[in-house]
Structure 1
């Protein structure tokens, strides 16, 4: 027979265990999203093409099931743009959801692009579908799970979750979001961008952007200690050419508006922008751990941003 003290300890232990699980993303759902978004059926998710639209519908359904808010009709922010040479008109669509903050009207904007480069030249194996598993089904799947997490664990600051289109065509979705943002840009404290987070032979995940805002590094340094993946700061020093990632993905649109950013990603690998960037070539342990580490970073930032 249990004493009252034993029962209390059991209850507290169960509560603590549940809290611990609440701090993690659903590995099953994360992988399921990655597999769907990088499948051959989606034909590389090129902007304006059928597979891209199927990816958009998948993201939209996820936000709808969570019953999240949005400042755009049906979560969709359409935009148009011309190709670099001006000979082709594209129609892109961002999918944008919002979770209000419990303590602040300031915002964190979490972004990941869901488009990729589509179908192209065949490789030696005869494969012409550029699946874009790491680039960027990985970041998009993580964004969806983070939306799920914060729908159950409301943040102090409002969070916008923006699955962006047309990154591969010149960061067009990010520029459209910044151009037609639903709040004054002055309310945005930070952009957290995820682009390629599912594999690295050295076990390293980089966070770029702290060179311009050293206070962000101070917030995250403790989480980097003995982390897996190994969280490294860098790739943001001006004048270092291709080694400077400041304008390499969607966070550049925020940087150009002088909004602080943190870009989580890995260094290029042998399958970058090739048909071999497939789900079978990602590192599942790395991917799940990277997504959970980024979530921990966002939680810490939500706690510490605006503190004196």
Structure 2
């Protein structure tokens, strides 16, 4: 039997400590990224499977961070519920979280930054905490949100923290089926999925091959990135299994013809294992990875008007 009480008390202590700070936002975007990963991958959240109490606890933390950063909903609520059926026919009620940072030139193109917050839950009596997959991506998204609040974008930036990615990109498909702004306005999706574990100091960015207008922007970011930022994993050149086009939430945007960029690390021994815990994250690499995706997001928004879908 899994013992829940102690982890829950640890999580409450962490949330209390964070809330006791006079200002949770930092002048440096990403300063709280490690705290975000630690909380989202705590045992108390039981692996954040959709429709579970642990998923609700994850949302509570993310919404707390939305408030600290000063984000605004589109409409009356950050929460966008949707439902789907598992293979056995059981219904799951899931929830995406969506916020917007208004651009200084409203009404034009918009950019969506996404990361999924769900993971595999409890299997065989073991908790699959998903620290890298994908608490790390959510932390990166929150750091990007902090950066755009500090440096207001010209275009609307929509932050989409998506549910039920592990079960078939369900949250992303729900988002594009009922987008918060007209889909033709969305000029780019930037997706984060696994940002924290790579022994070679490498972070990959995919999308430049299908969308060549992205390449000069990403090459410029890579030239000064604090990690080794490598372009690739977006063609079948090394086999279909190494083409990441359909392997995370950006694929739902790709299927609608929206240009996309995907940041992530290659698979590692903790991928989809119960060992994907906060304790196994190389913290220095993760901090530099977050700094890289923040810089890239700022650069991509600045040049958003140059990004074109393929003819």
Structure-2-length-normalised TM-score:
0.86
- Worse overlay, 297-306 or 65-74: 65-74
User: Which residue pairs with 1:13 in the alignment?
Assistant: none
In structure 1, the partner of 2:262 is: 263
Deviations 1:69-90 (A, max 9, x none): 222432000000111x251111
Matched with 1:96 is 98
Corresponding position: 1:25 with 2:29: yes
Q: 5 Å matches for 1:63-74?
A: 63-74=66-77
Paired residue for 2:284? 285
- Cα offset, 1:228, TM superposition: 2.7
Is 1:229 the counterpart of 2:231? The answer is: no
Q: Which moved more, 1:239-248 or 1:166-175?
A: 239-248
1:140 is aligned, of 138, 141, 144, to 138
Gaps of 5+ in 1: 1-20, 123-127
* Alignment deviations for residues 178-237 of structure 1 (CA, whole Å, 9 cap, x no partner): 111011111111000000000101111000111110110111102212533100011010
After TM superposition, give the deviation of residue 103 of structure 1 in Å.
Answer: 2.5
- 2 CA distance for matches of 1:176 and 1:72? 17
Q: Who is 1:296 aligned against? A: 295
Which stretches of structure 1, 4 residues or more, deviate above 4 A after TM superposition? none
Distance 2:139 2:149 in 1: 16
* Shift of residue 241, structure 1, vs aligned partner: 1.2
Q: Deviations over 1:31-53 (max 9, x none)?
A: 11110000011110000111111
Could you tell me how far 1:66 is from its partner in structure 2?
Answer: 3.3
Moved more, 161-170 or 227-236: 227-236
After superposition, what is the alpha-carbon deviation per residue over 1:1-52, rounded to whole angstroms, capped at 9, x for unaligned?
A: xxxxxxxxxxxxxxxxxxxx95x4242x111111000001111000011111
Residues 72, 96 of structure 1: 8 Å contact kept:
no
Aligned equivalents of 1:72 and 1:268: distance in 2? 38
Structure 2 segments unaligned to the other structure (5+ residues): 1-25
CA RMSD of aligned residues (A): 1.6
Instruction: Tell me which structure has the larger Cα radius of gyration.
Output: 1
Residues 208 and 235, structure 1, Cα contact 8 Å, conserved in 2: yes
1:75 counterpart (52, 73, 78): 78
- Whether the aligned pair in 1 keeps the contact of 2:226 and 2:291 (CA below 8 Å) is no
The question of 1:55 aligning with 2:62 is answered: no
Contact 2:30 2:290 in 1 (8 A): no
Q: Is the 8 A contact 2:143 2:294 kept in 1?
A: no
Q: Determine the C-alpha separation between the residues in 1 that align with 2:236 and 2:33.
A: 35
Q: 2:188 touches 2:304 (CA, 8 Å); kept in 1?
A: no
